[in-house]
């Protein structure tokens, strides 16, 4: 289809990918996209120890001896396979520490990625935060207004990840994640040397998907992070800041469903004629946007890739998960947390109409009442943590299929910009496309410390903890989880009432 020259120019000026937007519009109007049925839940799968593993406690894992040796020889030939586990009736029995060490030794074959688009406009929005929890908002209101002015509109990843006990801002999400990866690399080097191996000196590869509204601000901040006290004393700081990245272009909004078919580009944003509205295409677009990055990483010998949202402090490199995925030969593994009372929106693990394990939203796919009834019978409800660990062999071989077949969802919107429809792809619907995958059932307070609202950040930080727990029963658990990951995964220690970098150099 042809796009009016004037409209095309305005779309390009707004950062819109015109060709991709045209492709989507044509697919919607032809019926090839935008009408995928929502995932419907037919049941709740149980933890079976095979596909769905309980990872709340130290885990053992068994694999056929021949498969074990083949996997180790293929993925990491320098790692001495005979040093780990025990043989029993044709199986290799690996205990938690075996798995942990194998996973650590696989570090050179791992990349770590974040979905880093979007700014913190909604994060610091007063109306949205008040709606999250009115009474709690009243407790934090004065502090919230002071902080919100500083975080509105900046990239979420460079907003403070938590607030110090004295109320001051802590390090940013990305600053902490870079430190974590440098510590992961140090852990690998120390472990390799202790086993008499020669370690690779490079840090873990970091990759990200950004957006036109965040890209320049992130590059500028990374230039400053070279002098960060969290990073400067660790080897590889400059290299890890040189990220593999790609910018997610914006898509044009489409006309509201009330306007009927065929759809057109919405061109009356904010009531202005011939004005398009740029929108993100959902995090599921990463499979298209980051395709060159995934392929380049695989060409460099990287075999596995973590992918998660930038605002989840619990999304860290877990060597046990990495080892299990590598030895299982699965295409991917995904973290799901045991549901808590506050998890009433979002995706949970279900068995769909095809009998496959899948991820479906509470509300559209399964009612809150059905979830509560299932829990009353003793079933575990597992809540999506938006964290995946992929085999890059599988991913790079199947990117074209994923991009083509990942459902495109259309949702009508009625906002200040007007009445329009938004086209999005959801990353985690990829689970329903994989033939071989694992689900790790984890402790929410250990690996899922995410904050969509500034209120959640204040709550997790332990601000006014004694009073906050009157409004939110999870306040203590969230804060204890934060304390645990700051010490364990980010190498911080409490000094004089502030979380500061611990000395991890051995000096």
For the cut 60, the answer to whether the pLDDT of residue 507 exceeds it is no
Q: List pLDDT tens digits, range 105-146.
A: 999 999 999 998 666 667 888 888 898 889 999 999 999 999
What is d(CA 348, CA 345) in angstroms, rounded to the nearest whole number?
9
Domain annotation for the chain: domains and CATH numbers? 38-117+281-450 (3.90.550.10), 124-241+454-507 (no CATH)
For 134, phi then psi, to 5°, come to: -60, -55
Q: Which residues pair with 352 in a beta bridge?
A: 41
In the chain, the percentage of residues whose pLDDT exceeds 70 is 98
What is d(CA 468, CA 328) in angstroms, rounded to the nearest whole number?
43
DSSP per residue over 9-33, as a string?
HHHHHTTB-HHHHHHHHHHHHHTSS
Neighbouring CB atoms inside 10 A of 3's CB total 17
Asked if 266 contacts 276 with a C-beta cutoff of 8 angstroms, the reply is: yes
pLDDT at 204: 93
Mean predicted lDDT score pLDDT of the chain: 92
Q: What is the pTM of this model?
A: 0.92
Task: Please report which confidence band the pLDDT of residue 364 belongs to, taking 50, 70 and 90 as the band edges.
Answer: low
Peptide bond connecting 262 to the previous residue in cis, omega within 30 degrees of 0: yes
Neighbouring CB atoms inside 10 A of 441's CB total 18
What value does the mean pLDDT take over residues 76-105?
Answer: 95
Q: List pLDDT tens digits, range 234-269.
A: 999 999 999 999 999 889 999 999 999 999 999 999
For the cut 80, the answer to whether the pLDDT of residue 506 exceeds it is no
- 193 sits in the region (left: phi over 0; alpha: psi -120 to 50; else beta) called alpha
DSSP per residue over 332-373, as a string?
EEEEEEEP-TT--SSEEEEEETTS-EEEEEBTTTB-HHHHHH
Residue 83 CA, distance from chain mean position: 33
What is d(CA 446, CA 280) in angstroms, rounded to the nearest whole number?
30
Give the angle subtended at the CA of 185 by the CAs of 183 and 190, to the nearest 5°.
95
- 206's tokens: 């970091």
């Amino acid at each position: 289809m042809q796009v009016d020259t004037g409209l095309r120019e305005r779309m390009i000026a707004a950062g819109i990918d015109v060709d991709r937007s045209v492709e989507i519009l044509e697919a919607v109007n032809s019926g090839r996209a935008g009408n995928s049925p929502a995932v419907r839940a037919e049941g709740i799968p149980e933890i079976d120890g095979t596909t769905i593993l309980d990872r709340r406690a130290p885990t053992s894992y068994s694999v056929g001896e021949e498969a074990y040796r083949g996997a180790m020889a293929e993925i990491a030939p320098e790692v001495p396979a005979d040093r780990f586990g025990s043989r029993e009736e044709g199986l290799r029995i690996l205990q938690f520490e075996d798995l942990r060490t194998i996973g650590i030794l696989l570090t050179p074959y791992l990349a770590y990625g974040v979905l880093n688009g979007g700014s913190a406009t909604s994060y610091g929005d007063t109306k949205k935060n008040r709606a999250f929890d009115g009474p709690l908002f009243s407790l934090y209101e004065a502090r919230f207004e002071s902080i919100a002015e500083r975080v509105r509109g900046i990239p979420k990843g460079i907003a403070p990840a938590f607030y110090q006990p004295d109320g001051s801002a802590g390090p940013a999400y990305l600053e902490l994640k870079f430190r974590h990866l440098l510590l992961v690399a140090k852990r690998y080097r120390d472990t390799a040397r202790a086993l008499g191996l020669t370690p690779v000196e490079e840090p873990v590869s970091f990759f990200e998907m950004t957006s036109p509204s965040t890209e320049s601000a992130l590059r500028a901040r990374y230039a400053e992070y070279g002098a960060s006290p969290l990073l400067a004393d660790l080897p590889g700081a400059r290299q890890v800041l040189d990220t593999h990245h790609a910018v997610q272009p914006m898509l044009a909004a489409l006309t509201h469903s009330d306007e009927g078919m065929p759809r057109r580009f919405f061109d009356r944003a904010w009531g202005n004629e011939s004005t398009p509205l740029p929108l993100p295409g959902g995090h599921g677009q990463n499979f298209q946007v980051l395709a060159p990055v995934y392929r380049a990483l695989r060409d460099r010998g990287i075999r596995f890739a973590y992918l998660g949202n930038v605002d989840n402090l619990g999304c860290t490199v877990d060597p046990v998960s990495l080892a299990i995925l590598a030895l299982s030969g699965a295409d991917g593994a995904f973290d799901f947390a045991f549901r808590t009372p506050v998890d009433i929106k979002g995706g949970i693990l279900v068995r769909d109409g095809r009998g496959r394990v899948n991820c479906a939203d509470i509300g559209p796919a399964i009612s809150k009442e059905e979830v509560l009834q299932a829990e009353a019978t003793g079933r575990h409800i597992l809540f999506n943590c938006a964290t995946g660990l992929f085999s890059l062999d599988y991913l790079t071989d199947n990117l074209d299929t994923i991009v083509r077949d990942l459902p495109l969802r259309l949702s009508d919107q009625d906002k200040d910009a007007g009445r329009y429809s938004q086209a999005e792809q959801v990353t985690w619907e990829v689970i329903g496309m994989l033939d071989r995958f694992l689900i790790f059932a984890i402790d929410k307070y250990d690996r899922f410390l995410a904050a969509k609202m500034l209120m959640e950040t204040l709550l997790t930080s332990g601000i006014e903890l004694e009073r906050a727990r009157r409004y939110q029963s999870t306040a203590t658990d969230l804060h204890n989880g934060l304390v645990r990951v700051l010490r364990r995964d980010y190498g911080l220690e409490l000094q004089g009432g502030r979380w500061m970098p611990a000395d991890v150099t051995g000096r």
